Amino acid sequence: MVTSAVVITGAASGIGRACAELFAARGFGVVAVDVDEVGLAALTRAQSRAPRPAVAPADPRTAADAGAVTGADSRPAGGPEPRIVPMVGDVSVEETGAAMAELALASFGRLDVAVLNAGIGTTLPWEAPGAIDRLDRILAVNVRGVAIGIRSVVPALRAGGGGSIVVTASSGGLQSEPGNWAYNASKAAVINMVRAAALDHAAQNIRINAVAPGLTETALTARHRTDPASTAAVSRRIPMGRWGQPGELASAVWFLASAESSYITGTTLVADGGLTAH
């Protein structure tokens, strides 16, 4: 039986998948939620071939475990088998939230961390037909979905004495981009929702933070990388001169989930290669 468990939304692809693989490799039981059934099947297939975790899982709720996280890679082998339990569900639907928390408790007997990462977005001309319906859908997934996620996991976290919620926001929530008004609005909303939610749950030992990725190589941004010239053109906008990798974002999520960040709540950790630094 695992000694720590996490729910991760948007786990079939990109940053969410990298999080699922990282948490599983570090001994967590993972409930992987996504609308993409095929992607979830690919994740669990890959996971069944992955080596068992080389470390004992770290309890993210206690500062005393901070060393277990820091020294994770140097610990001897012997942790439990990794387990990823897939769940097909749409985060904008309230029943999905309740079901994912229940599945964590049924599968692992506990819930310690939630990574509310599922998100959609695309540039949207103001004059495009159906633009307001598209805005509604972006807000439903990126904002409503996070609110549902927080409400759903809090009782299980509280029952275990506390925990950590990490929300995937975006550098686009801090800095606007032409044509991205709907997505930018949704991510700015999420950043402020995280701050307010952190205030509301701090006394229950539940920390709530956000990670704000910059341009990261995932399916979401594939249209910006259709050829080497356009990829390079976008890279030139990034001070570090390259796109982020999903695993680099998963590391930032892990930091906020773990006891390494035990005194941090209500913050947004920007991981964007310097994109929003100027």
Using CB under 6 A, count the residues that bind ligand NAD: 30
Stretch that binds ligand NAD, among 33-41, 107-115, 155-163, 228-236 (CB under 6 A): 33-41
User: C-alpha distances in angstroms, 212 versus 1, 2, 24, 54, 270?
Assistant: 33, 29, 22, 29, 5
Angle at 271 between CA 246 and CA 262, to 5 degrees: 100
Q: In this complex, which beta carbon is closest to ligand NAD, that of residue 156 or of residue 166?
A: 166
Q: In this complex, which beta carbon is closest to ligand NAD, that of residue 2 or of residue 6?
A: 6
Give the contact letters, 165-194, x = binds to ligand NAD (CB under 6 A), - = no.
---x-x------------------------
- CB-CB contact of 204 with 156 (8 Å): no
Stretch that binds ligand NAD, among 32-40, 74-82, 128-136, 255-263 (CB under 6 A): 32-40
| The one among 4, 8, 16, 268 contacting ligand NAD by CB under 6 A | 16
Least distance (Å) from ligand NAD to the CB of residue 49? 20
| The one among 60, 119, 160, 163 contacting ligand NAD by CB under 6 A | 119
- Residues whose CB is less than 8 angstroms from the CB of residue 192 and which lie 6 or more positions away in sequence, other chains included: none
Q: In this complex, which beta carbon is closest to ligand NAD, that of residue 75 or of residue 224?
A: 224
Burial track 188-215 (b if 16+ CB lie within 10 A, e otherwise) = bbbbebbbebbeebeeebbbbbbbbbbb
Residue 39 in contact with ligand NAD, rule: CB under 6 A: yes
Question: Is 183 one of the annotated active-site residues of the chain?
Answer: yes
| The one among 180, 221, 245, 276 contacting ligand NAD by CB under 6 A | 221
* 136-155 residues near ligand NAD, rule: CB under 6 A: 141, 145
| The one among 4, 5, 6, 10 contacting ligand NAD by CB under 6 A | 10
| The one among 29, 57, 213, 273 contacting ligand NAD by CB under 6 A | 213
d(CA 126, CA 142): 19
| The one among 34, 59, 65, 260 contacting ligand NAD by CB under 6 A | 34
d(CA 147, CA 104): 18
d(CA 27, CA 53): 6
CA 162 distance to own-chain centroid: 18
User: C-alpha distances in angstroms, 93 versus 2, 97, 152, 237?
Assistant: 28, 7, 11, 37
3-state secondary structure of 234: helix
User: C-alpha distances in angstroms, 213 versus 12, 73, 91, 197, 248?
Assistant: 18, 25, 20, 20, 9
Q: Which of 23, 28, 183, 243 is catalytic?
A: 183
* 92-111 residues near ligand NAD, rule: CB under 6 A: 92
CA proximity to 182, closest of 146, 137, 231: 137
Please list the active-site residues: 183
User: Contact positions toward ligand NAD, by CB under 6 A?
Assistant: 9-10, 12-16, 34-36, 39, 90-92, 117-121, 141, 145, 168, 170, 213, 215-216, 218-221
